[in-house]
Structure 1
Amino acid sequence: MYFKFFWIIRAVCYKPFFGKFLMPSYIGKPVYLHGVKNIFIEKNVRLFPNIRMEVHGKDASINIGEDVGIAQNVHITSGSNLNIGKSSTILANVFITNIDHDYTTIGVNILKQKMIIKDTEIGENCFIGIGAAIQAGTILGNHCVVGANSVVKGIFPDYSIIAGVPAKIIKRYNTQSGLWEKTNSEGTFLN
């Protein structure tokens, strides 16, 4: 646990460079940070080593809510406002973005083509499994669970369990029965 002491020291040193970095939050040694003045971190956020966060554009931001835990080797990139709701947990090797790249101009490197920005939001109390990819245009409601290695794109209601490639809803919490119940891929409960 002594390593967390160094992470706290690092947070104190990095704090002036971020748009907001409330304590007690801490950060392990990052791989790459870009546009840190537009990264806003609430209190009790735990950022494990090898995180990569990129903000592209002066009006873009990454907003990480209170009590969020982000494991090692996570890559978050934003070309507008990307929000991660409070008390969410993001496991290792996850990729989250609100940027797609145009590819339609033949003979031009895709990274040099126009960025296509689509809102991406992660609700409160979400759990993102190891190796998941949250693509541009994804809106996760509150208390959603994303299965390991899932590729997620779309809008998902509160209390959904999402898994697969491409990811689909496989269960939802039924507020009437008080149970997690199987659904079809659109989230309609199966009887």
Structure 2
Amino acid sequence: MIYKLFWALRALLYAPFFGKFGLPSYLGRPLFLMGIKKVFIDKRVRIFPHLRMEVHRSGSIHIHEDVVISQNVHITSAGNMVIGKSSLILANVFITNIDHDYEEIGRHVVKQEYMIKDTIIGENCYIGMGAAIMAGTKLGKQCVVGANSVVRGEFPDYCVIVGAPARIVKKYDLETGKWEKCS
């Protein structure tokens, strides 16, 4: 528990460099931070060590309250990115709203234009270990993303998403109160 005290002190030291850093939140030792003046973190956000967070160009990242981000997570934004309240992001996850164009043959992909699409994670979502949330993804409320899934597209509230490419395998039925398999 003493390490959380150090993480809270680190949060206090880093807070002025963020667009917003709500307290009480804490921040484990990050690997790399860039453009964090455009990162807005609400209260009670817990970020574990080895975060890599980058904001490019006019991008922004909004992390709502009570979010947990586990270790070794990489988040990169050049557009609008939102992580909804009470979401849990497990270790080794990648979240982006950037794709690189690759149309110009003979030109390095990194030197080609960004293709930016907003990425939004709804409230109370669970992102499994090793998942990749790609540009343009919109997850509804309380979605569950399976481990190692590659997610792109729009997904409704209350669904379980797995695979590469990811697809819906279960939805919550509000009438029966049960999670039901999708065919």
TM normalised by structure 2 equals: 0.99
Q: Give the equivalent residue in structure 2 for 1:189.
A: none
Q: Structure 1 runs of 4+ off > 6 angstroms?
A: none
Verify: 1:134 aligned to 2:133, yes or no: yes
Q: Runs of 5+ in structure 1 lacking a partner? A: 185-191
Q: Give the equivalent residue in structure 1 for 2:16.
A: 16
Deviation at 1:35, TM superposition (A): 0.3
Counterpart residue type for residue 91 of structure 2: A
| SS at structure 2 position matched to 1:4 | helix
| SS at structure 2 position matched to 1:148 | coil
Task: Work out the CA distance in 2 between the residues paired with 1:28 and 1:177.
Answer: 41
Q: Runs of 5+ in structure 2 lacking a partner? A: none
Q: Give the equivalent residue in structure 1 for 2:27.
A: 27
Deviation at 1:175, TM superposition (A): 0.8
More deviation, 103-112/29-38: 103-112
Post-superposition Cα deviations, 1:23-61, rounded to whole Å, max 9, x if no partner, equal 00000000000101000000000000000110001x310
Matches within 5 A, 1:24-63: 24-57=24-57, 59-63=58-62
Q: Give the equivalent residue in structure 2 for 1:6.
A: 6
| SS at structure 2 position matched to 1:92 | coil
Q: Give the equivalent residue in structure 2 for 1:112.
A: 111
Post-superposition Cα deviations, 1:94-121, rounded to whole Å, max 9, x if no partner, equal 0000000001111111111000001110
Task: Work out the CA distance in 1 between the residues paired with 2:59 and 2:97.
Answer: 10
Matches within 5 A, 1:168-179: 168-179=167-178
| SS at structure 2 position matched to 1:73 | coil
Matches within 5 A, 1:72-151: 72-151=71-150
Q: Give the equivalent residue in structure 2 for 1:156.
A: 155
Task: Work out the CA distance in 2 between the residues paired with 1:17 and 1:125.
Answer: 27
Counterpart residue type for residue 26 of structure 1: Y
Verify: 1:166 aligned to 2:165, yes or no: yes
Identity %: 63
**Count of aligned pairs between the two proteins:** 183
Post-superposition Cα deviations, 1:136-174, rounded to whole Å, max 9, x if no partner, equal 010000000000000000100000100011100000001
Task: Work out the CA distance in 2 between the residues paired with 1:165 and 1:30.
Answer: 28
- RMSD value over aligned CA atoms? 0.6
TM normalised by structure 1 equals: 0.95
Task: Work out the CA distance in 2 between the residues paired with 1:3 and 1:128.
Answer: 25
Task: Work out the CA distance in 2 between the residues paired with 1:175 and 1:23.
Answer: 35
